[in-house]
Amino acid sequence: MIKLLGRNIIRLIVLVMVQILIVNNIQINEYFLPQFYILFILLLPFETPRWLLLVSAFTLGISVDLFTQTPGMHAAASVFMAFLRPWILEMSAPRDGYETGTFPRLYYYGFQWFLRYTVILVLAHHFVLFYIEIFRFTEFFSTLLRVLLSSLFSIILIMLSQYFIFRK
């Protein structure tokens, strides 16, 4: 239990660092802004209490905000994503439910399951994030394009991470 907690705290710190030091420096143009740090929320154990889920998502978002001078922007999007997570997990559960001792990873539940889980949550997160950033609906379609292209980029990064870093 303690080991699991420690591992997740370290993962939070490492992902925030990776986001601000590496991913934020991939500046292709204004349509591709990958958000890799949300992998943290995707990988939290199934048994995480719901309040802890929200609080840790908020902590994650606000830490990224601290480095990008966007108070509340990433926090709002991350909390929204964490709020959706229990339903998405419930919706896409295998017939006999999730086994104890497993984690929401590609390794345990396969490519298709993980891809669907990732796509829904990443889209939800990016949608909130980019519309909050622009804070108006006048440029609806250009913002939508930003959401879609950035999500695509983030999803590719997250899927790749499953093969190279979180193999087990």
Residue ranges in contact with other proteins by CB under 8 A: 20-21, 24, 27-30, 32-33, 50-51, 54-55, 58, 61-62, 65-73, 75-76, 79-80, 83, 86, 132-135, 139, 142
Could you give the CA distance from residue 70 to residue 59 in angstroms, rounded to a whole number?
14
Judged by beta carbon, residue 132 or residue 152, the one nearer other proteins is 132
CA count, 13 A, side-chain hemisphere, 87: 8
Minimal distance, residue 69 CB to other proteins, in Å: 5
How many angstroms separate the CA atoms of 121 and 167, rounded?
A: 21
In angstroms, what is the minimal distance from the CB of 36 to other proteins? Answer: 15
| Distance from C-alpha of 82 to C-alpha of 80, rounded to nearest angstrom | 5
Nearer to other proteins, 82 or 106 (CB): 82
Residue 159, classified by CB atoms within 10 Å of its CB into exposed (0-12), middle (13-18) or buried (19+), is middle
Q: Least Å distance between CB 33 and other proteins?
A: 6
> For other proteins, which is the closer residue by CB, 93 or 134?
134
Largest CA distance in the chain: 48
Cα distances from 77 to residues 37, 58, 101, in angstroms, run 12, 9, 29
Residue among 50 and 167 whose Cβ is closer to other proteins: 50
Question: Closest separation between CB of residue 78 and other proteins, Å?
Answer: 9
